[in-house]
Amino acid sequence: MAKKIKKIFHLYAYQKVILSYFITFSACVWTLYPIMYKILNYPPGTVDTQFQIDYGGLTYSAQFLLLYVFVTALFILYQRYFLFKKIANWEKSDGSNSKYSIDEVRNTLLTAPTKFYLLQIIIPFIAITIGLGMPVVKHEVESSGITVAVLWVSIFTFNATISYVFSKNLFKPILIKTFKENNLVVKHSKLSNNMMLLLLPLLIAGLFFTVIVSYSRLVNVRGNDIYKYYKNELSYLFDENVSYSEDELTSKLESIHFLNSTDTYFIIDSNKNITTSNNVPLTDFFQKYIFELSDQYDGRAYEHYAVNTQGYIKHIIVNGNNYIIGIQFPITGENALFYIITTFIVLFGIISFLVWYYSSSLSDQIKIIVNGLNDINSQNNKEFKKIPIVSDDELGELTVAFNKIQDLTKHNIQQIHDNQESLMEKERLASLGQLIGGIAHNLKTPIMSISGAAEGLTDLVKEYELSVGNPNVTIEDHHEIAKDMLTWISKIKTHTEYMSDVITAVKGQAVTLSAEEDITFTIGELLKRVNILMKHELKNAIIYLNISMKADENTVVHGDVNNLVQVINNMISNSIQAYNGKTEQNIDLIVEKIDNTIVISVKDYGPGIPKNVQDKLFREMITTKGKNGTGLGLYMSYSTIRAHFNGNITLESSKGKGTTFNIILPL
């Protein structure tokens, strides 16, 4: 029987598995070889050049070859002398003189592909850890380290999948033959586990590889844009044929508008002394690149291998001496890629569940649920037909849950509508929490003024008491004292009225929503509350709110003033955020009467809203203020105006010119 098995192959099965691994791995690796340094955005002129030898000791090709030989030899030796040892002994002895039984060989044939598959995914992490000390991956071990690891692990995972498939097919004839000789009963593994084992790593590796390549191209494009920007800035500010003083040099460099707070300028004098704006010295690699290669690439400089920090330099004359000036800029945030990878790790868990679910569904029982779903689809969700429970496992539980979901669907949809008011109330309280700082600020000034007035009155009372019976105090003196007292009392009254207004406005925002209460308010009252509640935020941002009243402030509007105040405040906050921290900017709040409607417009002069975002603002529950938002969002603002005022919100936005939101309320 063993001779017949041997005739099937020109090589032993285990040799074919090793050969298939070697071929596929070599193909994968040498496909990666010419593009890896491009994906990692290696600085031009530093790959396989004297520059790389001087800095790292080995060229990119030599480093890549060493890593390839090391990993290939490691896996082939492991396959031959450990993993396939029993199979090799059994095949070479024709199965007759093997020191291993058929049962041992069969168990090895059944488990070896899986073991080798897992090892090809696990061992690369060890190899990469060792390789971190090599110049090919010598970098800041953060985002760039993740990039290198993902590239290599993706290649190993892809190759592991191919090896797994090949080894399964190559060992199948032996398993068939040996099964006829010995009717061995083996413990079967779950199909869902096998599917997850095969598909998940391949899927995740593919996703990671796609993300890395996309990230690399994004970095490349963004790097070009930033480089061109600073090149234009320095070319505009400095003329290579003009000699500048050191004061002029510093003044011009400090006038540059940096795209990011981490961007810095540096100055290299004729003696190669380096001064940086953040007092952080330039790295040796960056300096070496500036002096040796940057002139070949139009003044562009690079921080390191696989590190997304670059720079632009320009030669100028300062006091008759040759100087080099430049801007160093990181292209992405320090943890940008880390956050992307973290997101995919979370997605890995979700995808794992989905793969398990669909792989487990490869049975006849799942057809029942499929038919049930088809029945629901044919009824257009007007009628719900329960699916019969035909199993006592997870599929049965899934069927029970599915039927319950059907029963609760209509109820849940209705409950979503019912909960809208509750959601608005929670959002209002969240907004109220943001107003606490402003409230404290608004009340502090009048309280201190009242305290000062009280002291002033106390002094006047004492003065008046001493004047009683004093023949030197005239009637005019008594009138003067009384006049001063009335002045202080008037100031106290003014401040207490202001405090009352603040408390009333805040109280209104904290009151629970009333479902169908028919209430009214005036435009004057509305603007008064908006001004009180937004005063602190506007003052902190150094933004000016210009109120233009083109309607009678006594115009009556039907609805809850607190709802409208919250919507307008949300839009003003959005406008503040639109300036991205710029101060001394303007926001226009315009109120005008058009026919039988009141139109309240909130207008800023920021960068505008992209067209693709505009289409989503009123259809999705999103906030336009990022992490600083209350969560109300324009979606909820739109819902509030439509539901509680029977009104509408429109949007006008132009790139670079600003955005205007128009709240239209019927009278």
Q: Dump pLDDT digits (tens) for 326-367.
A: 999 988 765 665 666 677 667 666 766 666 665 665 555 666
Q: Which residues contact 144 (CB under 8 A, 6 or more apart)?
A: 40, 304, 305, 306, 307, 308
pLDDT above 70: percentage of residues in the chain: 67
What single-letter amino acid sits at 68? Y
Distance CA 509, CA 432 (A): 7
Residues of the chain with CATH 3.30.450: 230-334
- Helix 85-92 crosses helix 13-39 at what angle (to 10 degrees)? 140
* Average of per-residue pLDDT across 266-272: 92
Kindly report the three-state secondary structure assignment for every residue of 310-373. EEEEEEEEECCEEEEEEEEEECCCCCHHHHHHHHHHHHHHHHHHHHHHHHHCCCCCHHHHHHHH
Supply 264's token pair: 């810095």
CB 238 within 8 Å of CB 316? yes
Report the top-level CATH class of 422-666.
alpha beta
Distance CA 102, CA 183 (A): 10
- Residue, of 130 and 561, whose pLDDT is higher: 561
Supply 345's token pair: 């790790």
CA atoms within 13 A on the CB side of 76: 17
Q: Please tell me the predicted confidence (pLDDT) of residue 134.
A: 47
Distance CA 337, CA 348 (A): 16
CA atoms within 13 A on the CB side of 566: 36
Distance CA 307, CA 302 (A): 8
pLDDT higher than threshold 50 for residue 183: no
Residues of the chain with CATH 3.30.565.10: 422-666
Torsion of CA 452, 453, 458, 459, to 10 degrees: 80
Listed ranges 128-142, 299-313, 419-433, 498-512; the one with the highest mean pLDDT? 299-313
250-261 pLDDT, tens digit per residue, is 999 999 999 888
Q: How sure is the predictor about 400, in pLDDT bands with cuts at 50, 70 and 90?
A: confident
Q: How far is CA 427 from CA 419, 436, 537, in A?
A: 12, 15, 18
Which architecture characterizes domain 230-334 according to CATH? 2-Layer Sandwich (3.30)
Supply 3's token pair: 């001779």
Residues 333, 339, 342: CA angle, nearest 5 degrees? 160
- Residue, of 396 and 552, whose pLDDT is higher: 552
DSSP string of 396-438? HHHHHHHHHHHHHHHHHHHHHHHTHHHHHHHHHHHHHHHHHHH
Supply 274's token pair: 């380096």
* Average of per-residue pLDDT across 288-316: 90
